[in-house]
Each structure stands twice: as C-alpha cells, then as structure tokens.
Structure 1
Amino acid sequence: MEHDMTATRMTALSAAVLIAVAMAGSVRAADFMADGTAAYIQTIKIPAQEAGVLQEVNVRDGDRAQAGDLLAKIDDRQAQAAKKVAEVKLAAAEKRGNDTIEIRYAKAAGEVAWIDWDRDRQVNLASAGTIPDIQIRQKELVYRKSLLQHEKALNDQVLAKMDADVYRAELEQAELALERREIRAPFDGEVKTLNIRQSEWVNPGDPIMEYVRLDNLYVDFNVDGEQYDPIDLEGLAVTVTVRLARSETVDLQGKIVSIDPTVQGLTQTFTYQVRAEVENSKPRGFWVLRDNMPVVVTVHTGQ
C-alpha cells in the first residue's frame, strides 16, 4: 500500500510539473522528463582525533552548521598549558637571540685590553725591561680573552636563535594539539546523528557524529535506453522540480555528472540510471531538497 501511495504521488508530481511547464512554454521538444530521487552527496562520520573527555557539545541532531563552525571540543586544558609553556620559551629565546649586550661589552673590553697591552709594549720598546715581561704577557692574555668572549657572545646569539626555532616548532605542535581537540564542521551541512554526549570519554577514531552535506545533492533517475545513449546525456544541464507543501514547487539547477554502465531490463526495452548533481536552495532558511525526496527531472538535451 505504501508503495502504491509513493507511486501515486510521483505520478501526480510528474503531471503537475508537465502542466506547469507546458503552460510556461519552457520545455522544448528536445527536452525530456523523468521521475527521480534525491540522495546525499556526502555523509561522513566525524571522528575524535585525540583521547579525552568531550568537554563541549554545541549541536544537537538536526542542527545546521557552516564550514568551520565549532561543533564540539575535547578537554584541552593540558594542551593549553603546553601552549603557554612553548610561548614563554619562545619569547625568552627570541629575546636572547636579539640581545647584543654581551657582544658589545666583549668588543669594548677587547679595545681597552688592546690599548693597555700595547702601551706596555711601547714602553719596553723605548726602554727595554722597564715593565716586567710577565706583566706584558698577562695583559696580552686579557686582550685575547676578550676576543674569545666576543666570539662566544656571537656564538651564543646564534644558539639562542636556534633555540627560538625549536620552541617555535614546539608552539606549532601545541597549537596543532589544540586544533585536534576541536571538532569543526568540514563543510556546510547538518548534524544527522550525535553519537557521543557531553562529558563522555572518547578515543581517537571514535565517531562523534554523523554529518551530511546539503548545499549540493545527487538526483538519480532512469533513462530509456531505446531513446538515448549515454553519450547523448553526458554533462547536460537539468532542472529538478521539487514539490513542497500546499502544491508549491521549486526548481533547482544542476547537471549530469555520471551514468551507470549497468542496464536494467532483460528485453530490448531497457533503462539505465543517470546521476545529476544539483545545487540546493533554502529560501526560507531550510534546505528545499532532502535525502530520498521524489523529484521530477527535466533534461535539457537541446543544450
């Protein structure tokens, strides 16, 4: 009985569309019509990527979301702390890498040590033995030490910049850990089924919710193989007529994207299935086309 009611509805829908289109004069002789059924293009189970307590759930069954919306979140307190540590380490390393105090001090100390050492040497050149040799050697050592301190200060600056690179990578890792604890909408769509509730524990790979795409849907329909070959239909534009409540109709546009190579029927009269991708519409805030809805497809073979 249910099958008969569905068939009756499809026949009524087809008849209504034929009358409406004929009155509008928009169907050319080259176009043909067929009954079709809508189907989701994409249905996914959004998994948890990290283990933890599901701290936040912002949606319920049937809620719609835009791409990037935060749907749920796993406890991220430890990841937040790791991020703060990485930020402090990075800031300290960058400060050391940009600090030139030790470099400038070592250079100035070297200049003074050179003057002090050279003065004693000049005195002994003018009057040999005036200044003990050990004192001159000690001042030479002070000068050479200042040169090494300058070199070390330059090297420490390079190492500090390398540390900054390491801590920057740690910060990126901490930010990724936070991102992996956020469950965001991968595309515009709707939550079909929420599998895990707030405060429940999840493991990596656990399906948190089933999510469906609604901005575009497939429409499947059968074509008479005696009338059209697959090559005749490839890539053609289609108009999909959806019947709403109170006998209202909405037309959606799309095009044929695939043709099933399998034929149906064992005699000379056979059909094959054709699939069109249709751009959905939500004129009143709700998507017009839904999964498994009966529609009428007008194939524009003249285009």
Structure 2
Amino acid sequence: MFRLCVSICLFTTLAGLQFALPLTLHAEEKTSDQQSLRIDSVLVTVIEQVEVPAREEGQLTKIQVREGMTVERGALLAQIEDSEAQLLLEQAKLEYEMAQLKAKNDVDIRFARKSHEVANAELQRAQDSVKKYPKSISKTELDRLQLTAEKAELEIEQATEEAKTAQLEALLKKNAAQIAALAVQKRKVVSPISGMVVQIMIKSGEWVRPGDTVMRLLKLDRLRAEGLVNASLLQDRDLNDRPVVLVVNPGTKQEQKFQGKISFVSPEINAVNNQTRVWADIENPNLKLKPGMRASLIVQ
C-alpha cells in the first residue's frame, strides 16, 4: 500500500506563547485495486442549514417546536399575533364575494335588451302604420320612437360595459383578499426545509421584527464529507458521481459505514502541498452520522 502523508502546522496562542499543533491529512491508494481510493481525516459537515426569520413585526404568541424536534418542510414553527390580519382577511373575503355577485348579475343587460326589443317593436308598428295611413302618426312621434329605440340600444352597451367593470372590480377584490391572506400567512413562521430544530433564538411572548432570526434548522438526512487528496492520485481518475463508503471510527467496535457518492472535485490545486478538495454527499437516513465527525472516505 502506497501512503502519502502531508502535515500542516496550526498555531495557537496561550499566555503569550505560541505552540505548533500538527494536523495530518492522509490519502491512500490500494495497489491491489487501482479503482479504490481512500481519503483519511475527512470532516463531516451539513449541506443545508437555515436561520428561519420572522417576516412580520409583532409579538411571538406561540412556539410549536422545541430543540431536537425533526420537522417537515412547511411545518408551522411559531406564530406571530395575527388578530388584526385575520379580521382584514375576513373583510376582504366578504368584499370579494359581494363583487362576485355583482359581476354575475346580468339583470341590467337582460332588461336593456328587452327594452330595446319593445322600442324597436313600437317603432316598427308606427312605421307600418305610416305606410298604410301617411298622416296617422306625426313625424314628431316617429322621431321620439326612433330616439327611444336608439336609447335602448345604447343602454345595452352601457350595461355590458358596466358588467365588464364589475368583473374587473371582482378581480381587484380577489387580489385584495389574496394580499390579506398573505399577510396572515407571513405571521406564521414555517420551516423552509425538512430538518432538525437545533436552536430557538426568541422566546414566546417576545417582540420580533422582520428579519429577526427565530430559530435555526439543520438538514441531517444527507450530510457532506469533505477531505483533501493529492492531485497526483487523480490524474487518471474521474471521481464525479463515484459511489463512496464513509467509515466512522474505522477498525474499532464502534465502526459505522454510510453510503454516498462524490458530488464535487475542486479544479484548484494547492501549489504548496499539491492537494485538492473533494467532497461527497452521504445518506444519513437514521441520523446516526453527526456534523463535525472525522471519518475515512473510500471511493469505489
């Protein structure tokens, strides 16, 4: 087995004195199997963590979770006082319903059409009478009947335009109701990811402002293992999407193995130690793997 060891010295200060602490990263390649690569001293980190903020100003009336609880995406975490927002939402809903009823009401259009039919019928009878008996109806009366028929036609157009306006008003009221519903929703602190609540920043009863962090969540069902490998070992290898096994506490009774795959190989090489960064996404369905653990990564 060929073993490459690179030592890095970290310095810390204690009581004005400097001490050098060795940190060693290993990369192994099994000569018996040219397709396997072992990366030691990889660090397990989280892929996704979120600081969940308040989106509206108000008093935090209730916290629905506690540290250590696992929540699904969209779950209610906390509630900001929303009595006024709820009332405004109910008002907006009622106004929308009224606008809908008005938009669906076509009585004015039907009445205008019926009036137009009657006016046209009267005008037609008068014209027929004049044809048979020229002096039976005066010209003034004919003009009045003609005007009545034209007015009825215009009333149809007016009623049609008013119906269109009523439909637009209904859309405006619908939009107002949606805005009011959004205002209610923004007073709910919901989880943007599926994960574990690890820290609650604000207590129930305290005042929050938009942007204040209410709690912090970690996604733990998939973690990342990051390590360094000598670039010379990667010259003839394409590691992207390669399956890997992460071994925690190798060679001990507490040894645990987790499956995953390579998700990133850095294109940059450190000019000092000739190393490059590699990381893999590791499945963690039982949440036994913890961020901060050190482990070994075996690339198949």
- CA gap of 1:123–1:243, structure 2 versus 1, over 3 A, is same
Query: What are the within-5 Å matches in structure 2 for residues 83-102 of structure 1?
Result: 83-102=89-108
Q: Distance in 1 between matches of 2:112 and 2:249?
A: 85
1:234 is matched with 239
List per-residue Cα deviations over 1:264-284 (Å, max 9, x = no partner): 966xxx6554322211121xx
Unmatched segments (≥5 aa) in structure 1: 1-26
SS at structure 1 position matched to 2:204: coil
2:284 to 269, 277, 280: 280
1:31 to 20, 36, 50: 36
Q: Distance in 2 between matches of 1:41 and 1:173?
A: 34
- CA gap of 1:180–1:296, structure 2 versus 1, over 3 A, is same
Would you say the 8 A contact 1:242–1:288 is kept in 2? Answer: no
2:130 is matched with 124
- CA positional deviation for 1:240: 0.9
Would you say the 8 A contact 1:54–1:202 is kept in 2? Answer: yes
How many positions carry a matched residue from both structures? 267
Q: Distance in 1 between matches of 2:127 and 2:208?
A: 78
Query: What are the within-5 Å matches in structure 2 for residues 209-220 of structure 1?
Result: 209-220=215-226
1:11 is matched with none
Q: Distance in 1 between matches of 2:297 and 2:238?
A: 13
Matched letter for residue 296 of structure 1: S
Would you say the 8 A contact 1:54–1:73 is kept in 2? Answer: yes
Give the stretch that moved more between structures: 39-48 or 119-128: 119-128
The answer to whether the aligner puts 1:194 opposite 2:197 as a matched pair is: no
Matched letter for residue 70 of structure 2: R
- CA positional deviation for 1:39: 1.0
1:158 is matched with 164
Q: Distance in 2 between matches of 1:249 and 1:275?
A: 21
Matched letter for residue 196 of structure 1: I
Would you say the 8 A contact 1:43–1:210 is kept in 2? Answer: yes
Q: Distance in 1 between matches of 2:64 and 2:234?
A: 49
SS at structure 1 position matched to 2:257: strand
The answer to whether the aligner puts 1:299 opposite 2:295 as a matched pair is: no
The TM-score normalised by the length of structure 2 is 0.77
2:145 is matched with 139
Q: Distance in 2 between matches of 1:149 and 1:273?
A: 78
The TM-score normalised by the length of structure 1 is 0.77
Q: Distance in 2 between matches of 1:225 and 1:132?
A: 108
List per-residue Cα deviations over 1:162-211 (Å, max 9, x = no partner): 11222222223223223322222222211121111122211111111111
Matched letter for residue 297 of structure 1: L
The answer to whether the aligner puts 1:111 opposite 2:117 as a matched pair is: yes
Unmatched segments (≥5 aa) in structure 2: 1-31
Would you say the 8 A contact 1:252–1:281 is kept in 2? Answer: no
Give the stretch that moved more between structures: 85-94 or 203-212: 85-94
1:73 to 62, 79, 90: 79
- CA positional deviation for 1:239: 0.3
Give the stretch that moved more between structures: 96-105 or 190-199: 96-105
Would you say the 8 A contact 1:221–1:274 is kept in 2? Answer: yes
